[in-house]
Amino acid sequence: MKAQIAHLIAGLVLAVTGPSFAESNNAEYCAELVETYEKYVGEIEAERGSAQASIEVAIAKDKCRSNPASSIPVLEKALKNARIALPPRG
């Protein structure tokens, strides 16, 4: 009985802390995507004389901290379209 309770408690702890850990990883990865985008795609846009990023990418960059899960696919797509390698996901 005590072993079952211990397993239940451990499961609850993981269920509560798991999502916040994933959110932290998402936020870090999203920040890396923004940094990569600005470093490589921003330079390409500046060379072409077009410093205006798409609205979708600009919104994703702004929402990276508050909602990284929705920003990540947009930034990944923009980098892939520019043929820039994605940073490793930690």
Provide the pLDDT for residue 1: 58
Provide the pLDDT for residue 46: 61
Digit-coded pLDDT (tens) for 27-73: 999 999 999 999 988 776 666 655 556 889 989 999 999 999 999 99
Instruction: For residues 35 and 64, give the distance between their C-alpha atoms in angstroms, rounded to a whole number.
Output: 11
Element (H, E) at 77: helix 68-81
- Rg (alpha carbons) of the chain, rounded to whole number: 18
pTM for the model: 0.68
User: Residue written as tokens 């929705």?
Assistant: 70
User: Residue written as tokens 């802390």?
Assistant: 17
Domain ranges of the chain: 2-81
